[in-house]
């Protein structure tokens, strides 16, 4: 579909880093003993750092006149970054549920989605430091995925995944207090490393009560800006995502999933692999979201936002995970 260029997200800046130079000049500063233990497995002395990262930052983009649904692949569990089959011509991208400060907290004791991704892809910690050092000449390439209230997603292409950490018993607060031997037993080196493409996109800051039209519009615009940038960069896209901003930020899982699917359809993402977690309670929110996006297929942005607000979606509590998902009382789909 042809679109006016002045309505597309615009490239703010991009830069390419050699991975060996990045590792030498900006090594991760692991400030937690368990993170250092993982690094001893993932990047032991003498580990090779071949290849390069291509990093770009984007902004803007006007939503199309009508929204559309998309092809959804429901996946149990969490990102596995599986190698792409030769016959699959799509470029696979994985979401980073980013704080606005890009890759800023992965070296510490925390272990949520952002921190796990950085721990398994340690070059992301180095990248955050390299961008902040301003050793590049791209004025628009900064370390923030939100600026002036607007989304400025950062795309990272070619990040080596150097280990797998099984967080079944180590997620969240459990990680920092776990014995080192438990952390090492849960860590497997990936050698040679696989390469991942990452989109860092900050969710809305946590609120309470019912979602407002401004918040729903902001979610939709933020997701669309990032997802459309993927299509502009890669054309044929498979997006891997999950309950973005629904952990510490307390986002509503059904609403956030539906907004992502609608934004992906509008952006012309060809497939969304939605990783819903490990329990059937988490799957139910995705099933609700799929029904909502099908119901709103073809609706204008204003109509969709009005219906989503009228439905009465509410913010949850921080880290209110694995509880039964209940659609709002006034949900447009009925009970």
pLDDT in tens, 185-226: 999 999 999 999 999 999 888 888 999 999 999 999 999 999
Mean pLDDT (the chain, rounded): 92
Count of structural domains, the chain: 1
Q: Would you say residue 1 lies in a domain? A: no
Tell me, what DSSP letter sits at residue 2? Answer: -
What is the domain extent for residue 88? 8-311
Residue 264 lies in a domain: yes
Q: What is the pTM of this model?
A: 0.94
pLDDT digits (tens, 9 = 90+) for 320-335: 655 667 788 777 775 4
Phi, psi of 49 (to 5 degrees): -125, 70
Could you tell me whether strands 187-200 and 91-96 are parallel, antiparallel, or unpaired per DSSP bridges? parallel
Answer whether residue 331 is part of any domain: no
Provide the token pair at 147.
């600026």
Mean pLDDT of 142-163: 95
15: confidence class by pLDDT, cuts 50, 70, 90: very high
Peptide bond into 192 cis (omega under 30): yes
Tens digit of each residue's pLDDT (9 = 90 or more) over 81-98: 988 877 788 999 999 987
Residue 329 lies in a domain: no
Could you give the CA distance from residue 257 to residue 219 in angstroms, rounded to a whole number? 10
Residues 6+ apart with CB under 8 A from 234: 90, 91, 93, 197
User: Mean pLDDT across the stretch 168-173?
Assistant: 90
Could you tell me if residue 323 is inside a domain? Answer: no
> Does the residue 325 lie in any domain?
no
CATH (domain of 145): 3.40.220.10
- Helices and strands in the chain: count of H runs, count of E runs: 9, 10
The answer to whether 218 and 251 have CB atoms below 8 angstroms apart is no
Tell me, yes or no, whether 332 lies in a domain: no
Indicate if the pLDDT at residue 2 is higher than 90.
Answer: no
* Phi-psi label, residue 319: left if phi above 0, alpha if psi -120 to 50, beta otherwise: left
The answer to whether 124 touches 118, Cβ cutoff 8 Å, is: yes
Q: Considering the chain, what percentage of its residues have pLDDT values greater than 90?
A: 76
**Contact assessment for residue 286 and residue 276, using Cβ atoms and an 8 Å cutoff:** yes
Residue 146 in any domain: the answer is yes
Residues 126, 132, 135, 138: is their CA dihedral positive or negative?
positive
The pLDDT tens digits of the residues spanning 38-73 come to 999 999 998 889 999 999 999 998 999 999 989 999
Strands 150-151, 146-147: pairing kind:
antiparallel
| Sequence-separated (6 or more) residues with CB below 8 Å from residue 214 | none
Q: Which H or E run includes 198?
A: strand 187-200
Asked if 93 contacts 198 with a C-beta cutoff of 8 angstroms, the reply is: yes
Residues 6+ apart with CB under 8 A from 127: 17, 22, 26, 53, 55, 103, 156, 159
């Amino acid at each position: 579909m042809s679109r006016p260029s002045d309505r597309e997200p615009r490239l703010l800046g991009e830069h390419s880093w050699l991975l060996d130079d990045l590792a030498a000049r900006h090594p991760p500063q692991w400030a937690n003993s368990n993170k250092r233990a993982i690094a001893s497995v993932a990047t032991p002395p003498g580990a090779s750092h071949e290849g390069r990262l291509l990093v770009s930052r984007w902004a803007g983009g006007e939503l199309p006149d009508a929204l559309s649904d998309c092809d959804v692949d429901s996946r149990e569990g969490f990102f596995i970054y599986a190698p792409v089959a030769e016959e699959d011509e799509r470029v696979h991208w994985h979401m980073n549920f980013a704080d606005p400060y890009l890759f800023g907290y992965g070296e510490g004791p925390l272990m949520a989605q952002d921190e796990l991704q950085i721990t398994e892809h340690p070059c992301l910690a180095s990248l955050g430091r390299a961008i902040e050092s301003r050793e590049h000449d791209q004025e628009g390439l900064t370390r923030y995925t939100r600026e002036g209230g607007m989304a400025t997603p950062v795309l990272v292409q070619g990040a080596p995944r150097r280990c797998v950490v099984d967080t079944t018993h180590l997620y969240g607060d459990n990680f920092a207090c776990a014995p080192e031997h438990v952390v090492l037993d849960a860590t497997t080196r990936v050698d040679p490393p696989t390469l991942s493409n990452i989109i860092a996109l900050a969710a809305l800051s946590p609120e309470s009560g019912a979602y407002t039209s401004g918040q729903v519009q902001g979610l939709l615009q933020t997701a669309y800006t990032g997802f459309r940038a993927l299509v502009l960069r890669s054309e044929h896209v498979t997006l891997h995502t999950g309950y973005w901003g629904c952990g510490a930020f307390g986002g509503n899982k059904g609403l956030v999933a539906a907004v992502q699917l609608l934004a992906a359809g509008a952006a012309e993402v060809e497939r969304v692999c939605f990783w819903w977690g490990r329990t059937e309670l988490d799957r139910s929110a995705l099933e609700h979201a799929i029904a909502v996006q099908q119901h709103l297929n073809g609706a204008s942005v204003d109509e969709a936002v009005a219906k989503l607000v009228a439905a009465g979606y509410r913010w949850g509590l921080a880290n209110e995970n694995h509880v039964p998902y209940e659609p709002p009382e006034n949900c447009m789909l009925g009970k």
